[in-house]
Structures are given as C-alpha cells and as structure tokens.
Amino acid sequence: MLYSRFYDDLEAETKVLPAAVTKGISRDDLGFLCCDGLRVKDIYDMNTEKQFMLTSKSSIIKNSQLIKISTSNLDDKSFVTYDFSSNYNPEVLSTLKDEKYGIVAKNADQMMESIHTGFSSDMIILKGDDTKKREYNIALNRNCKVQISTIEELKALIDSSNETGKIAQVILSAHHISVWNNDKENPMFKEF
C-alpha cells in the first residue's frame, strides 16, 4: 500500500520502494504515473484537499501473499490484522477481508463498519485508548476480541462482561513492564 502526502512526494517515493511494494504502480504511454491503470495526476487534480491516500489493490494482494508465506508456520488460530483507521476505504476493507485478514478497530463505529463490510466478528479486535463501557458491551455481544493495556481497561472490561454475561476474548498488550521489589538500588530491580 502506498500513501502520499502530496503528489510530488509520491513521484519520489516510488523510485526508492522495493518492487513488491510498487506492484500496480506504473507509467502510461505519456509518462504519467499510474496506480492500477489510473493516472495519479487525474486523481490529484480531482482532489480538492491535495492530500490523499493512494492504494493499489494489486499491491495489497501481492503483500498479502508475501505475509502469508512468512507467517505460514503459525497455528490456525493466528491471524494478521490491519488497522481500520489506515484502511477505511470500503474497497480496501473488502480486499483485506477477502484476503482473510483481521481488523483492529478503535471504537464501536469502526467495529460495526468492519462487520458491515463482512469481516467475521472473531477477526475484529477492539483496541481503543478511551474505550467506553458501551463499546465493550458491543464487542462482547458481537463476540469480537478486545485488546487491553491498562488495569483500568481490564476493570471496565470485567464490568462489561458481568453486565452482558459474556466471556471476553482478551489480548493483553504490555507497553511498560517492571519487575518491582521496592528498592531501585537493588540489582534485582529491572525495568523493561
């Protein structure tokens, strides 16, 4: 997947990217940069904000094949996820779903849009820094997985689990772990 902050940046970026990433990127007979057969300049000229996301379906599929090869030794319960916010275009989401990827949603709206796109609920992970109880309830009722990284999130998820009567499928995320023995001068104290 390629993205461009501005059209000129895309021109420069495609010259240094590996071939697997630039699949779907080419030049037409007149020398215009194209993505899956569409002129980037035409897309740029139609775009009023001059900042846009450019995605090549063939690049997604090619990268998907490479990822599947590199993760082929994982068990059947493992899956690779993409972030919803970076791939919010329905065509991109649909392609990711067809390629059997999971999606990471930051809120209930993204979670529901992923379900609407056709993602299986067990391939959706709710991961929000400010996740509300309502969102946990929706995730639990839809059998989506939930990623937590703080004690507060764990407590809120337990409350939602008790309220809904559902057991949460939890992914723990440890950003900062300390082995603590109350004495920072002690050589046994170690911060990761």
pLDDT of 160-175, one tens digit each? 999 999 998 988 876 5
**Alpha-carbon span 48 to 45, nearest angstrom:** 8
More confident residue, 21 or 170: 170
Contacts of 123 (CB under 8 A, 6+ apart): 79, 81, 100, 101, 102, 103
Position 53 scores a pLDDT of: 65
**Alpha-carbon span 182 to 10, nearest angstrom:** 52
**Alpha-carbon span 178 to 144, nearest angstrom:** 30
Candidate from 63-67, 97-101, 132-136 with smallest mean pLDDT: 63-67
Give the domains, in start order, of the chain with CATH numbers.
2-58 (no CATH), 79-172 (3.20.20.10)
Beta carbons of 40 and 74 less than 8 angstroms apart: no
Contacts of 185 (CB under 8 A, 6+ apart): none
Using 50, 70 and 90 to split pLDDT, how confident is the model at 123?
very high
Instruction: Please determine, for residue 129, whether its predicted confidence score (pLDDT) is greater than 50.
Output: yes
Stated as kind and residue range, the H or E segment containing 4 is strand 2-4
pTM, rounded to two decimals:
0.65
Beta carbons of 39 and 32 less than 8 angstroms apart: yes
**Alpha-carbon span 149 to 161, nearest angstrom:** 17
**Alpha-carbon span 163 to 2, nearest angstrom:** 43
Average pLDDT, the chain: 75
More confident residue, 119 or 20: 119
Position 56 scores a pLDDT of: 73
Using 50, 70 and 90 to split pLDDT, how confident is the model at 8?
very low
**Alpha-carbon span 171 to 55, nearest angstrom:** 29
